[in-house]
């Protein structure tokens, strides 16, 4: 996979280059800031862009604003935001906007190289991979809308786990219920959120984005209804 990196820390930037190259990827560019990001994307045509949230010159939100812009200009380009921070102001726009595959991972919570490389591969293949802490922080700062109020506590727990990218099997294990129960909850969630079956069968992502955009409670693994 052809990967573009935009990371201001020279040690982390070079570390990512080495890690990705050793894993068989082609790093087409490694930028210290977003000043020439658009031109570099156009020139190198990467399959995935990895960006930090806070980049020069102000080290506030240059990276995530660049990610939002990339998704608007190149809807099919997978983007992975890799940061120490959850930048709420733009994170919802990033996740809720139209675009291709997406990841938002927190540097301090990436504890396993193999899992990180697996996440990179999944995003490159079209998946949405969100760190659970990112999901939890966004959910805690959003008020509920009418659709979310229709969900039971258990359904909200299932939906929050869907937003983390968990499979039905993983959700069942987390909530200590059967996969059949999870499937019933998911069916109810789709119905209550008004998500019709589409050609891509991508209602899980639609439900997760609705949950993040409009709000809900964080996973309640002890709730049982």
Task: Give the per-residue pLDDT at 209.
Answer: 66
Domain membership of residue 180 (yes or no) is yes
One domain for residues 29 and 61? yes
- Residue 11 pLDDT > 80, yes or no? yes
Domain membership of residue 132 (yes or no) is yes
User: Considering only 57-61, 106-110, 145-149, which range has the smallest mean pLDDT?
Assistant: 145-149
CATH of the domain at 176: 1.10.10.10
Task: Give the per-residue pLDDT at 36.
Answer: 96
- Residue 217 pLDDT > 80, yes or no? no
One domain for residues 123 and 15? yes
One domain for residues 12 and 101? yes
- Residue 135 pLDDT > 90, yes or no? no
Q: In this structure, is the dihedral angle defined by the CA atoms of residues 66, 44, 108 and 204, taken in order, positive or negative?
A: positive
pLDDT band at 143 (very low <50, low <70, confident <90, very high): very low
Task: Give the per-residue pLDDT at 190.
Answer: 84
Last residue of a domain, one of 112, 140, 168: 140
- Residue 37 pLDDT > 80, yes or no? yes
One domain for residues 161 and 134? no
pLDDT, mean over the chain: 83
One domain for residues 15 and 86? yes
Of all helices (H) and strands (E), which one includes residue 36? none
């Amino acid at each position: 996979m052809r990967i573009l990196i935009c990371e201001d820390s020279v040690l982390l930037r070079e570390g990512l280059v080495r890690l990705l190259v050793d894993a068989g990827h082609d790093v087409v560019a490694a930028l210290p800031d977003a000043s020439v990001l658009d031109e570099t994307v156009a020139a190198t045509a990467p399959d995935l862009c990895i960006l930090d949230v806070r980049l020069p010159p102000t080290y506030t939100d240059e990276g995530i604003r660049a990610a939002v812009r990339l998704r608007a200009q190149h809807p099919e380009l997978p983007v992975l935001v890799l940061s120490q921070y959850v930048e709420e102001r733009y994170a919802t726009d990033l996740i809720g906007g139209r675009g291709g595959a997406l990841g938002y991972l927190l540097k301090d919570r990436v504890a396993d190289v193999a899992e990180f490389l697996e996440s990179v591969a999944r995003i490159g293949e079209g998946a949405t991979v969100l760190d659970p802490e990112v999901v939890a922080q966004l959910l805690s700062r959003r008020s509920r809308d009418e659709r979310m109020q229709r969900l039971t506590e258990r359904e909200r727990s299932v939906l929050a786990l869907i937003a983390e990218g968990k499979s039905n099997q993983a959700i069942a294990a987390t909530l200590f219920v059967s996969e059949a129960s999870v499937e019933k909850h998911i069916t109810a969630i789709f119905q209550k959120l008004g998500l019709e079956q589409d050609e891509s069968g991508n209602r899980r992502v639609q439900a997760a984005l609705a949950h993040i955009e409009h709000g809900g409670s964080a996973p309640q693994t002890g709730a049982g209804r």
